[in-house]
Amino acid sequence: MGWVLLIFLLLVVVFGVKIIPQSRAKVVERLGSYHETLQTGLHYVIPFIDRIASDVSLKEIVKDFAPQPVITKDNVTMQIDTVVYFQITDPKLYTYGVENPVNAIENLTATTLRNIIGELELDQTLTSRDIINAKMRSILDEATDPWGIKVNRVEVKNIIPPRDIQEAMEKQMRAERERREKILQAEGEKKAAILIAEGEKESAILRADAKRETHIREAEGEAQAIIKIQEATAQGIRLLKEAKADESVLKLKSYEAMVDVANGQSTKIIVPSDLQNLVTAGTILKETFKDSKTVKEENKTE
């Protein structure tokens, strides 16, 4: 009898020892009412008197809920599925706050999503995911607080509009891409035409500058040539004056100048009266020299 009692007491002790691992918690009921919450570590419960009501994970839980039909403000029905990230912060409230908490969160998510989407039009729904996520997280976090649940994030996973809406959106996007392509092509042609015109303009300017520079150089050359001629003439006159040339020499130089003038393109030459006698004398001297040269050549021939 004593051995039986000893074995019974040993079994009571063994079955009453509970080891709670990390990130877990257990809610204990004693005689049907809440007694305590066992956290990480070694604990002892009285068999047949204490009962583990629930074993709760304190890790963040991810639930991907099935797509829900929602209607937008402009009466477009679409399918939207959501992903909810939540964590149990109070095992007691989670155990006694609501029956089947995960199912409650799913239904609350569906109703909240319908309310938010019902205030938005189709285009706003497709482009306002961040706004939808923020509103849903705020509403769900406040609603699940009495259940001991903390909603960390809510993500809209997929937004599936009707097939005809998808086809219309694809056509619209295709038309938009074609429009952008035409705009880019037109801008490219415009820039090319501008560059060609600017190139032609710069070429014309360069050609005009080159032509102008050529004319300037030619004019400068002619001016320098005239200056050189004038300087040479002035130098000749100065030398004649320094040599004290008589009047006959000066008249001879004038005659040579007149010969140079006659070689030009002038069609009419006015000869001063005092040069006429000099011209006649020059002609006689020329003929005399010519006759004497002829006589000498004939003598050499004989």
Other Cβ atoms within 10 Å of 172 Cβ, number: 10
Amino acid identity, position 250:
L
Please give the backbone phi and psi of residue 118, each rounded to the nearest 5 degrees, phi first: -65, -20
**Mean pLDDT score across all residues of the chain:** 79
Residue 269 lies in a domain: no
Domain count, the chain: 2
Residue 230 lies in a domain: no
- pLDDT at residue 278 greater than cutoff 90: no
Instruction: Say yes or no: 102 and 150 in one domain.
Output: yes
Pairwise pLDDT comparison (302 vs 31), residue with the higher score? 31
Nearest-angstrom CA–CA distance, 235 and 69: 114
**Model confidence band, residue 284 (pLDDT cutoffs 50, 70, 90):** very low
Can you give the pLDDT at residue 104?
92
- pLDDT at residue 302 greater than cutoff 90: no
Q: CB-side exposure of 86: number of CA atoms within 13 Å?
A: 29
Average pLDDT (19-38) is 90
Pairwise pLDDT comparison (126 vs 256), residue with the higher score? 126
Instruction: Say yes or no: 86 and 143 in one domain.
Output: yes
**Model confidence band, residue 84 (pLDDT cutoffs 50, 70, 90):** very high
Length of the chain (residues)? 302
Lowest mean pLDDT among 121-135, 149-163, 194-208, 234-248: 234-248
Q: Considering 119, 146, 161, which residue would you say is the last residue of a domain?
A: 161
Average pLDDT (104-119) is 91
**Model confidence band, residue 285 (pLDDT cutoffs 50, 70, 90):** very low
Instruction: Say yes or no: 74 and 46 in one domain.
Output: no
Q: Considering 129, 161, 193, which residue would you say is the last residue of a domain?
A: 161
Q: What is the pTM of this model?
A: 0.55
Residue 139 lies in a domain: yes
Instruction: Say yes or no: 52 and 64 in one domain.
Output: no
Q: Considering 19, 41, 57, which residue would you say is the last residue of a domain?
A: 57
Residue 95 lies in a domain: yes
Instruction: Say yes or no: 81 and 45 in one domain.
Output: no
Range of the domain at 151: 60-161
Average pLDDT (125-133) is 87
Instruction: Say yes or no: 51 and 113 in one domain.
Output: no
- pLDDT at residue 18 greater than cutoff 70: yes
CATH of the domain at 92: 3.30.479.30
